[in-house]
């Protein structure tokens, strides 16, 4: 068995040994390495929650991989006892609603978590908001029962708002609607200096909103600089899009 390289030589692996700021070197006696169990004794019962959060401002420049690391730090600082996967490389049981491209804001983003102890949802939100960096704000939490599927199996569509400056001039709305229909947009609503669209997910993955915007740019429908916000994520009930959560 080879030892892991020091975090000072590479990026932090979020192992949980240190606080992310002070490096701690842990060495196990060679005679104990082979007999070390793969998993520590952990509670057999876990508790699931669905969390809703915003990703705005400077946080929009976090890649999805960076966001996972940020979430690890947030929950560790908040003192939330997360449930971990089993094996030699355990990691928190996170299930995200869908990755956002860098630079896109998210108003209603979702994350399913599992914890080793129960929490009151109000307390959970307060803990997380107290230690979250600028741009990440928690806005809702709901306990999940064993029959509730993962968030990725529920979401079937995304709503985006695409905005541009008024100085960019008039947009050919008829041409815009035609292109959006060709791109597979199920619904489009005109707004002042923008458009709000609902895009069904394909093959269980998030739609390529950036590719759609690039097509619209190439056709001269939207200006080079636009602001994109994912405003909602939908499940489908009786053929109609319904928000994942309703306050």
145 and 171 inside one domain: no
* Residue at 220 is within a domain: yes
User: What pLDDT is attached to residue 223?
Assistant: 86
Q: Which three-class secondary structure string do you get for 63-76?
A: CHHHHHHHHHHHHH
Contacts of 27 (CB under 8 A, 6+ apart): 3
* Residue at 199 is within a domain: yes
Identify the H or E element spanning 124: helix 121-131
* Residue at 219 is within a domain: yes
Tell me the whole-structure pTM to 2 decimals. 0.78
* Residue at 84 is within a domain: yes
In angstroms, the first-to-last Cα distance of the chain is: 51
- pLDDT tens over the chain, length 247 residues: 455 555 555 556 555 556 556 655 555 444 433 333 344 556 668 899 999 999 999 999 999 999 999 999 999 999 999 999 887 788 899 999 989 999 999 999 999 999 999 999 999 999 999 999 999 999 999 999 888 889 988 898 899 999 998 777 778 888 888 888 888 888 888 888 899 998 888 654 444 888 889 988 888 888 888 999 999 999 888 877 888 887 6
161 and 145 inside one domain: no
What is the domain extent for residue 223? 156-239
Give the tokens for residue 96.
């995200």
* Residue at 34 is within a domain: no
Most distant pair of Cα atoms in the chain: their distance: 74
Query: How far is residue 159's CA from residue 162's CA, in Å, rounded to a whole number?
Result: 10
61 and 146 inside one domain: yes
CATH number of the domain encompassing residue 214: 3.30.70.100
Final residue in a domain of this structure, among 123, 152, 181: 152
52 and 81 inside one domain: yes
CATH number of the domain encompassing residue 63: 3.30.70.580
108 and 200 inside one domain: no
Final residue in a domain of this structure, among 107, 124, 152: 152
Bridge-based pairing state of the strands 157-163 and 227-237: antiparallel
52 and 78 inside one domain: yes
Final residue in a domain of this structure, among 152, 180, 207: 152
Query: How far is residue 208's CA from residue 189's CA, in Å, rounded to a whole number?
Result: 19
105 and 179 inside one domain: no
178 and 213 inside one domain: yes
Bridge-based pairing state of the strands 194-200 and 157-163: antiparallel
208 and 139 inside one domain: no
148 and 62 inside one domain: yes
User: What pLDDT is attached to residue 1?
Assistant: 46
* Residue at 39 is within a domain: no
Total domain count for the chain? 2
186 and 116 inside one domain: no
């Amino acid at each position: 068995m080879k030892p892991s390289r020091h975090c000072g030589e590479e990026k932090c692996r979020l192992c949980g040994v240190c606080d992310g700021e002070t490096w701690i070197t842990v060495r196990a006696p060679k005679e104990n390495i082979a007999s070390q169990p793969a998993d520590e004794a952990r509670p057999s019962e876990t508790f699931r929650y669905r969390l809703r959060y915003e990703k705005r401002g400077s946080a929009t420049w976090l890649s999805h991989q960076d966001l996972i690391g940020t979430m690890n730090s947030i929950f560790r600082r908040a003192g939330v006892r997360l449930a971990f996967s089993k094996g030699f490389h355990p990691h928190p049981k996170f299930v995200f609603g869908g990755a956002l491209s860098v630079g896109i804001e998210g108003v209603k983003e979702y994350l399913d978590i599992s914890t080793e102890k129960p929490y009151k949802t109000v307390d959970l939100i307060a803990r997380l908001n107290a230690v979250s960096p600028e741009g990440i704000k928690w806005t809702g939490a709901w306990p999940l029962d064993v029959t509730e599927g993962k968030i990725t199996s529920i979401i079937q569509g995304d709503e985006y708002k695409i905005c541009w400056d008024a100085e960019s001039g008039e947009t050919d709305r008829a041409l815009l609607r035609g292109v959006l229909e060709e791109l597979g947009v199920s619904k489009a609503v005109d707004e002042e200096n923008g458009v709000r669209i609902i895009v069904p997910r394909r093959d269980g993955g998030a739609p390529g909103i950036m590719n759609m915007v690039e097509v619209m740019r190439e056709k001269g429908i939207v200006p080079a600089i636009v602001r994109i916000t994912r405003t909602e994520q939908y499940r489908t009930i009786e053929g109609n899009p319904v928000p994942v959560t309703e306050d």
